[in-house]
Structure 1
Amino acid sequence: MTDRWLSVEQIAAYLGVSKDTIYAWREKKCLPAHRVGRFWKFKTDEVDDWVRSGSAAEGDAHD
């Protein structure tokens, strides 16, 4: 099954950005993430939908 949970490091590599960017997007731009204990986990299909919606764009209304 390819729809597994990814860590911050893995989703950063998947999107080609830094871990700091992932944390910033999660807080300021509503990047879909799920808290599992003390860790943040991500589903690629949710993140892909979020990117396609334009929410990662600079100057977004969530800033």
Structure 2
Amino acid sequence: MDTDELAKYLKLEKQTIYNWLHQKKISGIKVGHVWRFDRKAIDQWLSSHMIEAKTRTKE
């Protein structure tokens, strides 16, 4: 997938994707002028960064 597809997939702005690439939060391969991303690698990255929601208890 390319940057546009990844931004849509993650529901983020393209600039966020570029920022994460620069910060090395995600990895991709640049082919010419286009960044490419492996969906399986992105899904694994998402899984490793998930935070469990804590349930609130009423007091």
Fold match by TM threshold 0.5: yes
Gaps of 5+ in 2: 52-59
Q: Which structure carries more relative contact order (alpha carbon 8 Å, separation 6+)?
A: 1
Q: Report how many residues are paired.
A: 51
Q: Which runs of 4+ in 1 moved over 4 A?
A: none
TM-score, normalised to structure 2, is: 0.74
RMSD: 1.9
Deviations 1:3-40 (A, max 9, x none): xxx11011000011000010011111431201111110
Which structure: greater strand fraction?
Answer: 1
Gaps of 5+ in 1: 1-5, 58-63
TM-score, normalised to structure 1, is: 0.70
Structure of greater Rg: 2
Match of 1:25 among 1, 16, 20: 20
